[in-house]
A = this chain, B = another copy of it.
Amino acid sequence: MPGLSRRDMLHASAAAATAAMASPARAAGRDESSPADKVAPPPAVTQILARRIAEAKYGDIPAAVRKEAVRALLNWTGCAIGGSHHETIDIAVSAISPFAGPGQASLLGRPQRLDIISAAFVNGVSSHVFDFDDTHLKTIIHPAGPVASAILAYSEYAPVSGQDFVNALVLGIETECRLGNAVYPEHYAQGWHITGTCGVFGAAAAMGKLLGLDEKRMAHALGLAATQQTGLKIMFGSMTKSFHPGRAAQNGMLAALLAAKGFTSSDRALEGKDGWGGAVSPKRKWSEVLDDWGTRYETALNTYKPFACGIVIHPAIDGIIQLRNGHGLTPDQIAGIKLDVHPLVLSLTGKTEPQTGLEGKFSVYHAVAVALTEGKAGEKQFSGRAVRDPALAALRRKVEAAADPAIGEDQARITVTLKDGRVLKTFVEHALGSTINPMSDGALAAKFTDLAEGILPPDRIQRVAGLCWRVEELANAAEIATAAAGVA
């Protein structure tokens, strides 16, 4: 009975337990959307998950998982600093500042301080505004944003040791990604931006852990998270996309703060009738939440983007840069570029004529044109200037893309036809930044520096990076926040 301890079984309903005894495959492991659902109720997902979070210990986390959490923290911190002066953040800060509370917590990259709930929001937005943050490829969740934004802000209000911080970060990522696994891809296909809708659980779990919630209050925190769903995919290409992880951080934090004071919600919020699962997804494979707890870590699968745009177009960018560098290609040589890509590439990033930098991130055509021209796809390559450049616009109109269901999400086939008649081809098996072809520590450090340059002084950049790498040794993780705050 993988993933279900005897104690868990005692907490599951009798009917579910009986079904589990009779057939392990029909226990927590079954897909609740199957007809079997009519026979036996789902397991007590909310309570079991709450108990596991409440009981989890830093010392139980494998070293490789802790290391990945540290890498996620470094990457998130860099993204939040880098995005902190985007127009989206200026507007958000100016809209909420008149109503915000005392200056308890830092805004990364900005000098102003706000209350921890507002700071969690702003840092969550800025960490996603470049679409450059981490990705859990199984669900396309960006895991760090909702979780780290909440707990780092909180650490400035009540000290959090580096080890407790990493424990909470891992628990938050496990919670949101396991719930994501349970409902992906149907939930996503229904229109939800999963980073927001599942991220709120990560923030609630991590904050609940820091607040020391017992099983019951942790379940209520998860319930309060379940009833605060932020994130529609139609917002992609607008400022509201990065609003989602910010609001998820803030909502999850509020959920845990309320539950800590005894605010009640449902202890079957996830799996119960009229609960989260049924409202948001036709698929509810609860085994993804419960099985292999403590042995399977979604945190270990986290990946980081070498390119400043949606992960789905990274294989195409990786491939075109390989061809460019391998053959010394320049734009004037190009007759046409043909891409064969995973179907999500077109549905998510199919904008043929982007008008803003943000829209450029949702255009595989622009991404490939600019990567071929400049040899990279960082934040500058997705500026308004780049998107409106006539030469780049001419080149992107030579790019054709076709969906091929046989091509994986981290793959792409690229065919470049030159004016001289030559045809160059490449097939990207695993894009740089994927689980199998990860960014090295050195590449992550370089990305961090690139992002923070021009916002923090050079010595401060190195100091923040150093604090992130050795977060587990810190007496209070808040050191990272105060060091990463903007200089007035």
Contacts and interface: CB of A to CB of B under 8 A. Distances in A.
A305 interface: no
23 contacts: A91-B258, A92-B263, A95-B258, A100-B115, A190-B278, A190-B279, A191-B273, A191-B276, A191-B278, A220-B238, A223-B240, A226-B232, A227-B230, A227-B231, A232-B276, A232-B279, A234-B275, A236-B274, A238-B264, A238-B265, A240-B263, A240-B265, A243-B263
A473 to B, nearest CB: 29
Nearest first, the 9 A-B pairs at minimum CB distance are A191-B279, A233-B274, A240-B265, A234-B275, A99-B115, A191-B274, A234-B274, A95-B261, A238-B264
Given A101-B115, A190-B278, A263-B95, A243 B224 contact: yes
A96 B232 contact: no
Interface of A: 88, 91-92, 94-96, 98-102, 104, 115-118, 190-193, 196, 220, 223-224, 226-236, 238-240, 243-244, 247, 254, 257-258, 260-266, 268-269, 272-276, 278-280
A240 B95 CA distance: 27
A266 B230 CA distance: 14
A47 to B, nearest CB: 14
Contact of A235 (B230, B261, B269): B269
Given A223-B240, A227-B235, 18 more contacts: A92-B258, A99-B101, A191-B274, A223-B235, A226-B232, A227-B240, A232-B276, A233-B274, A234-B266, A234-B268, A234-B275, A234-B276, A238-B266, A239-B263, A239-B264, A240-B266, A243-B258, A243-B265
B234 A272 contact: yes
Contact of A232 (B102, B191, B227, B240): B227
Contacts of A247: 228
Contacts of A238: 220, 223, 264-266
A244 B265 CA distance: 11
Contacts of A230: 227-229
Contacts of A94: 261
